[in-house]
Amino acid sequence: MAQFYKSTNKLPLAALIGIPVSFAVLTSIFAVIYALGIWYCPIVYINALICFGWAFVSAILAGIVIKATKARFPFAVGLLALVGALVGYYVHWCVWLSLVANPFVSRDIGDIGSALAPDFILNFILHPTYAWDFAVEVNKQGVWTLGKAKTLVNGPFLTIIWGVEFLIYAISVWLFSFTKAMDPFSEETNAWYKKAKYKNNEFVAPDDPQEHAKVVNKIAEGDLSYFLDAPILLATCDHTFKLEIYSLPTSSVAYVTVSMGVLNKKGAWDYSALVTYMSVSRDITDEIVPRTQ
C-alpha cells in the first residue's frame, strides 16, 4: 500500500514569533505601496488588478517566511501569517485614510513624494476608533465614481467592495501559508524537500478507458514505472498526467503529486488530484526527472 507524507505539526519558537512579526513588517511596507497605488490610479479596474497583485505578493512573502522558519504546522501557520497580514492591512487603511483626510494631498501623480504625512498616518494608527469613525464617514460620502454615468460609490455598495478586497487578501495569505506549510519536510535532516524544476512535467495518458484505469491504479499503488516510457505531452491529446516531484539529495525517499488532466470542450485542461505527496523511492524519480528537463 502506498505511503503518504504526513506533517509532524511542529512549530519552532522562531516560527511562532518570526512569522507574525516579520510578516507584519513586510506586509506593512507593501501596504503603503498598495495604498498609494489605488489612490493615484484613476482606473477602477486597474485598482482591482493592483489588489490581486498585493494579495499575490503578500502570499509569496508568507511562503518565504514559512520556509525560513521551518514551520510545518499548517493550521497554526495559516493563523500566524494571517495575524501578521492583518497588521499590514490595518497599516494600509491608515495610510489610505490619511490620503483622504489630508486636504493638501491631490491625486496628481507628481505629488506622490509629499503625499505621505507621518502625523496623519500615526494619528490613525494610534487611534483605531478614530480610524473606524473616519472610515464610516468616508463610506457614507464616497470618494470615487464608477462608469460613464459617474455614479458615486458609497454606502452598502462600497462596503461590499471593501469586503471583497479584504477577503481576497486574507484568503490568499491564509490559503497559501497553509499549503506551503504542508510541503514535505525531512525531520532527519531538518530541511524542506525541494520541488524538481521542469521544462515540461506533463505526460500523455492512455485514451483507452481500460488501459487508463490500469495505469491510474498502478500509480495510486505507488508504481511510477509508466513515467519511464510515457511520451512527454508536446501536442494536443485527450488525457494527461501532471507529475510533481519533491526530493532531497540526503534522502532515499522522494514525494510525488500526480494530477489527471482531461481536455474539455473549450480546449483547456481540467485537472483532478490522483495522489498528493506520495512516498516513493528516489531511484525512480531520479530516472524520471531528466526526461522532463
DSSP lists the bridge partners of residue 244 as 257
Residue 243 makes CB contacts below 8 A (sequence gap 6+) with 201, 202, 203, 227, 256, 257, 258, 288, 292
How, if at all, do strands 151-152 and 145-146 pair? antiparallel
Same domain for 235 and 205, yes or no, is yes
Is the predicted pLDDT of residue 113 greater than 90, yes or no? no
- pLDDT at position 15: 92
Give residue 267's pLDDT band: very low, low, confident or very high (50, 70, 90).
confident
- Mean pLDDT, to the nearest integer, of 68-97? 93
Amino acid at 217: N
Closest CA to 233 of 262, 275, 274: 262
Is the predicted pLDDT of residue 43 greater than 90, yes or no? no
Range of the domain at 89: 3-183
What is this structure's pTM?
Answer: 0.81
- The Cα–Cα gap between 252 and 245 comes to 13
Is the predicted pLDDT of residue 150 greater than 70, yes or no? no
- Mean pLDDT, to the nearest integer, of 61-83? 92
- pLDDT at position 209: 87
Stretch among 6-10, 40-44, 91-95, 285-289 having the lowest mean pLDDT: 40-44
Share of the chain above pLDDT 70, in %: 93
- The Cα–Cα gap between 208 and 241 comes to 14
Q: How many structural domains are present in the chain? A: 2
- pLDDT at position 62: 85
- The residue among 183, 213, 238 that closes a domain is 183
Same domain for 169 and 221, yes or no, is no
- The Cα–Cα gap between 112 and 166 comes to 25
Same domain for 214 and 179, yes or no, is no
Nine cell digits for residue 275: 495522489
- pLDDT at position 114: 65
- pLDDT at position 245: 96
Is the predicted pLDDT of residue 226 greater than 60, yes or no? yes
Same domain for 257 and 276, yes or no, is yes
- pLDDT at position 59: 85
Same domain for 210 and 133, yes or no, is no
- pLDDT at position 120: 86
How, if at all, do strands 3-4 and 185-186 pair? unpaired
> Measured in whole angstroms, how far is the alpha carbon of residue 42 from the centre of its chain?
27
- What average pLDDT does the chain have? 88
Same domain for 29 and 172, yes or no, is yes
Q: Is 231 in contact with 204 (CB distance < 8 Å)?
A: yes
Is the predicted pLDDT of residue 189 greater than 80, yes or no? yes
- The residue among 146, 163, 183 that closes a domain is 183
- The Cα–Cα gap between 175 and 75 comes to 10
Q: Is 255 in contact with 278 (CB distance < 8 Å)?
A: yes
Question: What residue has cell string 460609490?
Answer: 153
- The Cα–Cα gap between 10 and 184 comes to 13
- The Cα–Cα gap between 47 and 58 comes to 16
Same domain for 39 and 107, yes or no, is yes
Same domain for 240 and 123, yes or no, is no
Give residue 93's pLDDT band: very low, low, confident or very high (50, 70, 90).
very high
- pLDDT at position 268: 76
Same domain for 168 and 214, yes or no, is no
Same domain for 168 and 196, yes or no, is no
- pLDDT at position 63: 87
pLDDT in tens, 14-33: 999 999 999 899 889 989 98
Of residues 265 and 182, more confidently modeled: 182
Nine cell digits for residue 121: 498616518
Phi, psi (rounded to 5 degrees) for 23 = -70, -35
Same domain for 247 and 283, yes or no, is yes
Same domain for 157 and 201, yes or no, is no
- The residue among 128, 160, 183 that closes a domain is 183
